[in-house]
Amino acid sequence: MQWKLSLLNENGFRKVFLFFQNLKDMDWGLKNRLSSIIKPQNNRALMLAVDHGYFLGPTEKLENPQKVIGPLLKYCDSLMVTRGVQRTSVSPNTSTPMVLRVSGGSSIIGDDLSQEDITVSIEDAIRLNASALAMSIFVGSKYEYQTVVNLGKLVNEATKYGIPVLAVTAVGKELGKDARYLSLACRMAAEQGANIVKTYYCENFEKVVQSCPVPIIVAGGKKIPERDALQLTYNSIKAGAVGVDIGRNVWQSEHPVAMIRAVRAIVHENSNVDQAFKLYNKLASEESKRKSNKPNQNKSNKPNQNKSNKPNQNKSNKPNQNKSNKPNQNKSNKPNQNKSNKPNQNKSNKPNQNKSNKPNTPKPTPAKK
């Protein structure tokens, strides 16, 4: 037990205590939704992010969201998603909680990504049975005021219906990514009433955790090698985060299911990096073997149909029709018709009709009678 608890430092335990103390002041619905995202048995969370298309469009290896989400859904605690993808690509039969992205307005090719607004009504979020609402704030950007005020407004509306709010502290080229900046952004999000803050891991991340009174989930960020992503997960939890919201480092991996299961081993099973990476390699190897067997079925069956059957039809059957049958018709049949058949008709057939057929018909009939 002592080994398992070693992942959480003093700040982590303080965060857990304060979180559950705050639950006493919340309505039942808000408590229930939060407990479906951050598991109460260990205060950990594994969120899968697939909302990238709201500003990136068809992101690499997320071109077909339904195909990507399906195999991964049962391994994550919650899914961060837009309403469009939720309605078109997520099975309504799932019990996985939906963290609904409700902000947007700018694209990767636009002038300023920070110019976001709230794009989803609270009524539509309720229709989608959202377990939490997510939006980005851009502290230090041109549109800082707009995004921070929008967060406050979203908290006002969501609280009426007992829906938690997750604030994402966005970073960019002109924005910082050190402990000082992230501490500022996370604290501002919590001050506006966010129930969870999603931010980025950095050096001295413990300081960010200490200064934020609500649970922190760490973003996975851009694709990095699998072992590095597992190290990021381990370091985040060790520093006091309740979990990770990982996307590209799962579904852009060559083995997405193996990767999310390895991340889950760290988040919920207290595995270290070596153990998780060993699990990833084991699962990836098993997956590769399964895939290698499927091509054998495709290569053996298809050639038999294309190479053996078709050639027999084209080479054996057609030549027999063209070389043997046609010559017989042209060389043997025609001569027989001209030389043998016609003479037989003129010389033998006619005489047979006149000489043999007529005498033969009257003779057998009297004998039978």
198 is catalytic: yes
Distance CA 115, CA 98 (A): 25
- Length reported for the chain: 369
pLDDT of residue 103: 96
Q: How far apart are CA 131 and CA 143, in angstroms?
A: 27
The 8-class DSSP code of residue 161 comes to: T
| Beta-carbon-side half-sphere exposure of residue 291 (alpha carbons within 13 Å) | 8
What pLDDT, on the 0 to 100 scale, is given for residue 161?
Answer: 96
Q: Given CA atoms 112, 140, 229, 71 in this order, what sign does their dihedral have? A: negative
| Contact yes or no for 90/59 (Cβ under 8 A) | no
Q: How far is CA 58 from the centre of its chain?
A: 12
Q: How far is it, in rounded angstroms, from Cα 106 to Cα 114?
A: 7
Say what the pLDDT of residue 63 is: 95
Number of other CB atoms surrounding residue 168 within 10 Å = 28
Query: Which residues lie below 8 Å from residue 296, measured CB to CB, with a gap of 6+?
Result: none
* pLDDT value at residue 219: 97
- Map tokens 């003093």 to a residue: 10
- Global confidence as pTM: 0.74
Written as tens digits, the pLDDT of the chain (369 aa) is 344 444 555 555 555 555 555 656 679 999 999 999 999 999 999 999 999 999 999 999 999 999 999 999 999 999 999 999 999 999 999 999 999 999 999 988 988 889 999 999 999 999 999 999 999 999 999 999 999 999 999 999 999 999 999 999 987 656 668 999 999 999 999 999 999 999 999 999 999 999 999 999 999 999 999 999 999 999 999 999 999 999 999 999 999 999 999 999 999 999 999 999 999 999 999 999 988 887 555 444 555 555 444 444 444 444 444 444 444 444 444 444 444 444 444 444 444 444 444 444 444 444 443
CA 339, distance to chain mean position in Å, is 78
Q: How far is CA 32 from CA 27, 97, 217, 345, in A?
A: 9, 11, 18, 103
What single-letter amino acid sits at 277?
F
Give yes or no for a contact between 61 and 251, defined as CB atoms under 8 angstroms apart.
yes
Annotated active-site residue in 15, 31, 198, 207: 198
Residue 180, CA atoms < 13 Å, CB-side half-sphere: 3
